Amino acid sequence: MKKRIVSVMMTMVFTAAVLAGCGGKTSELPSAVPATEADPTSVAATISPIENLESTEASEASESTGDKVVLKCVADLTPHSEILAAAKDQLDAAGIEVDVVSTTWDATWNDMLVDGEVDFAYFMHVPAMESIEEEMGTTLYSMGGVHVEPYTCFSNKYTSVDELPENAVIAIPNDSSNEYRALKVLEKEGFITLKSDTTAINSTVQQVDEYVKPIEIVEMDQANIIPAADDFDAYFVNANRALEAGIDTTKFLMREGEDSEYANIITVTEANKDNENIKKLVEILQSDEVQKYIEDNYNGAVIPAAK
């Protein structure tokens, strides 16, 4: 299926040096640029050394350039592409070049992965992967988790959960896996109880068994929640969307615990489940060096998955 992606194309070109031995210097990793200081629409403002390139159409999967292996992927701008940039030196030493062909999510990303236009995707967690498998009638594979974005509730009107008024209107996403996460946080905080058969597949407000506290839950497309945030008393979004929008992610009302099972994974199809270069990529992303970068740069809005 031919999909034209009109978006920012970023290419991280790493040299083809081969890693000699297990020693070597620990390279300095790039710091994440605070979203409040950078234009979230500008790749150059948030990621170094990735360059802005003209829009392009994704080509067929991986290729070799000299001694380098080129892996094509789709990945969110924040934090996914930033984390890939932080792994630059290690990937360079392994002779791996990562070509991020799109950083603006839309439904074509799923098609690009399934159709083999990219080698891997870095934007989803396992429940989302399973949902895509069911919707598209395909089989996908997790090569390993890299980071977790605890699902978070913010407010433009209140600074604590205790300030929320009776009948507070709370926006949550309407895709089942993220809706489930939001509902579970509301349950943990004592606002609702869920039916015992509630899962990440069947989650809707119809699964609320009891409203322990009087609130109104509004389901909507996650992409529309932040632009409409002032219309609600509180709202749930992925931490990376909050970072991209310049929201202070330290000022939240409610959040998943750090033991969240929703690690963002490197996802592949059958064709790449045994790809040694992708296995090496995951090993690097799970390394102490890259995981420390994650821990040090996102104020708890993004946390390491490999501990």
Q: What is the mean pLDDT of each run of 10 residues along the chain (307 residues)?
A: 36 35 39 39 34 37 72 96 97 97 90 97 93 93 96 97 97 93 97 95 94 98 96 96 93 89 96 98 98 95 85
Q: What's residue 23's pLDDT?
A: 37
Domain ranges of the chain: 9-149+261-304, 152-255
- Alpha-carbon distance 291 to 271, whole Å? 28
pLDDT for the residue numbered 15: 35
Taking the C-alpha atoms of residue 258 and residue 182, their distance in angstroms, rounded to an integer, is: 15
In sequence order, the β-bridge partners of residue 184 are: none
* Cα–Cα dist 301/250, whole Å: 8
Q: Are 266 and 71 in contact (CB under 8 A)?
A: no
Q: How many CB atoms lie within 10 A of CB 179?
A: 22
The tokens for 180 are 């489930």
Q: Are 69 and 97 in contact (CB under 8 A)?
A: yes
- Give pLDDT, residue 8: 33
Quick one: pLDDT at residue 21? 36
* Helices first, then strands: H and E counts in the chain: 10, 16
Give the pLDDT confidence of 13-30 residue by residue, as tens digits: 333 333 333 333 333 444
In one-letter notation, the amino acid at residue 85 is A
> In whole angstroms, what is the distance from residue 86 CA to residue 82 CA?
6
- pLDDT reported for residue 200: 86
CA separation for the pair 133, 112 (Å, rounded): 14
The domains spanning 9-149+261-304 and 152-255 adopt the same CATH topology? yes
Class of domain 152-255: alpha beta
Residues 6+ apart with CB under 8 A from 22: none
Please give the pLDDT value at position 61.
59
The CATH topology of domain 9-149+261-304 is D-Maltodextrin-Binding Protein; domain 2 (3.40.190)
- pLDDT of amino acid 136: 94
- d(CA 287, CA 109) in angstroms, rounded, equals 27
With beta carbons less than 8 A apart as the criterion, state whether 146 and 295 touch: no
**pTM higher than 0.85 for the full model?**
no
